[in-house]
């Protein structure tokens, strides 16, 4: 009898524990989330939908999260695996380092590992010279790219994020989230920022690089992106996390408890979203100028991350010509999907 009683108690405990685990996330509401960040934002990477924000447009120093822009410009410059000798003056810089020495042989790709893993200021300066000829010209490229990406509250002064000598190096949580959403679409960037550690050959010697982002190993689904710290900026952290096909980006600036806050915000964001499949519709359209009377057209299936329950309110508008001519191919119409009056997705209708 005692054995049965113990088994029942154990089963009840397991059920209670499972319930607590399931409710831990759903118990968070945006109004109940408290962070120590001066500014923060949580977005759905695919749609840009803001799930949580605190002072998202406040201009603040962002320390080494700056290197996200430096890396993406370096990757987009091409010739990633051509070897060259580092500029001896560029690597003479204070702060975090990948350990470059005068005479070392590198590639742009290796410098990107140096920027994203140990947050090397030496690798950021070396990459700037390799890409643009000088740090000054590279910073000009950084600010031009910021304009192209619509980062209206961002201005760069250094490739590395060192900012003690200037008040003009700043961004916002909102802008850094937009920049990161762009960056993680780059396959090379995603591969590098998700690397926990690696050995880099520098032409006759090698260095071991460790990623400063401990959430890579401690938080389910995190695959990047960048830590940062200066006395002025405080602790800065940007994470990207994917679970069940949904990718979230979390940014905190000036946050003394950033590791804890990111896990909390990510759990909250994933509790709100679900992956929804849309498309797959088939229609017939009259054909003119041939023996075939009708042609079948299809909207390919696609997936979107929506807040739970939103899929019931999705509406669509089909735009088609009155007919097509025989022999036409490709897209001949569109379907526009709406949620509460806003455009979710525009998809082509394709002739089968």
pLDDT digit string (tens) for 24-62?
333 346 667 889 999 999 999 988 999 999 999 999 999
Residue among 38, 40, 54, 64 flagged as catalytic? 64
Torsion-angle region of 3 (φ positive above 0: left; ψ -120 to 50: alpha; else: beta) = alpha
pLDDT of 327 reads: 86
What are the start-end ranges of the H helices in the chain? Answer: 2-26, 67-76, 108-116, 121-132, 135-148, 173-183, 187-193, 215-218, 258-272
CB-count burial class (<10 Å; 0-12, 13-18, 19+) for 197: exposed
The residue behind tokens 């290796």 is: 110
Q: Give the model's pLDDT for residue 290.
A: 76
**Which one, of 44, 45, 35, lies nearest residue 235 by Cα?**
35
**What stretch(es) of the chain map to CATH 2.60.410.10?**
279-351
The Cα-based distances of 202 to 155, 192, 199, 244, 298 in angstroms read: 32, 17, 10, 39, 53
64 is catalytic: yes
- Would you put residue 208 in left (φ > 0), alpha (ψ -120 to 50) or beta? beta
Q: Which residues of the chain have pLDDT under 50?
A: 1-28
CB–CB of 175/153 below 8 Å?
Answer: yes
Q: Compute CA distances 114 → 79, 107, 210, whole Å.
A: 17, 11, 9
Residues 38, 67, 108, 178: which is the catalytic one? 67
The reply to whether 160 belongs to the active site is no
> Do 283 and 296 contact (CB within 8 A), yes or no?
yes
Please pick, among 40, 70, 119, 271, the residue that the annotation labels catalytic. 119
User: What pLDDT was estimated at residue 232?
Assistant: 95
Please report the pLDDT score of residue 33 as a whole number: 86
CATH assignment of 279-351?
2.60.410.10
How is residue 283 written in tokens?
A: 């229609």
Tokens of 333: 């119409």
Residue 67 annotated to the active site? yes
Write the burial class of residue 1 (CB in 10 Å: 0-12 exposed, 13-18 middle, 19+ buried): exposed
Tokens of 211: 């990623």
On whether the 25-273 domain is CATH 3.40.710.10, my answer is yes
Q: What is the pLDDT of residue 21?
A: 32
CATH 3.40.710.10-classified regions of the chain = 25-273
Query: The pTM is what?
Result: 0.85
| pLDDT tens, position by position, 14-27 | 333 333 333 333 33
What span, in angstroms and rounded, lies between the C-alpha atoms of 181 and 44? 9
């Amino acid at each position: 009898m005692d054995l049965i009683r113990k088994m029942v108690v154990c089963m009840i405990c397991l059920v209670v524990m499972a319930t607590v685990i399931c409710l831990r996330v759903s118990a968070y509401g945006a109004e109940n989330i408290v962070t120590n960040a001066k500014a923060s934002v949580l977005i759905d990477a695919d749609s840009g939908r803001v799930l949580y924000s605190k002072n998202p447009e406040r201009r603040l120093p962002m320390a080494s999260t700056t290197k996200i822009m430096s890396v993406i410009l370096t990757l987009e410059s091409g010739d990633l695996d051509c070897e060259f000798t580092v500029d001896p003056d560029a690597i003479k810089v204070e702060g975090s380092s990948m350990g470059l020495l005068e005479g070392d042989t590198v590639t742009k790709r290796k410098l990107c590992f140096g920027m994203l893993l140990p947050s090397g200021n030496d690798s950021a300066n070396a990459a700037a010279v390799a890409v643009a000829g000088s740090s000054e010209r590279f910073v000009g490229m950084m600010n031009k790219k910021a304009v192209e990406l619509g980062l209206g509250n961002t201005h760069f002064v250094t490739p590395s994020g060192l900012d003690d000598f200037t008040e003009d190096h700043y961004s916002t949580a909102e802008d850094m989230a937009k920049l990161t959403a762009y960056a993680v679409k780059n396959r090379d960037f995603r591969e590098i920022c998700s690397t926990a550690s690696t050995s880099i050959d520098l032409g006759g010697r090698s260095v071991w690089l460790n990623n400063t982002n401990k959430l890579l190993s401690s938080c389910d689904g995190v695959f990047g992106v960048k830590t940062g710290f200066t006395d002025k900026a405080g602790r800065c952290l940007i994470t990207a996390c994917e679970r069940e096909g949904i990718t979230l980006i979390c940014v905190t600036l000036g946050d003394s408890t950033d590791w804890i806050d990111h896990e909390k915000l990510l759990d909250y964001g994933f509790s709100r979203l679900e992956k929804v499949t849309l498309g797959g519709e088939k229609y017939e359209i009259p054909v003119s100028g041939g023996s075939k009377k009708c042609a079948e057209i299809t909207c390919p299936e696609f997936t979107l991350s929506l807040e739970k329950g939103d899929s019931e309110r999705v509406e669509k508008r089909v735009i088609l010509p009155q007919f097509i001519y025989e022999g036409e191919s490709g897209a001949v119409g569109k379907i526009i999907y709406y949620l509460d009056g806003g455009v979710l997705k525009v998809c082509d209708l394709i002739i089968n």
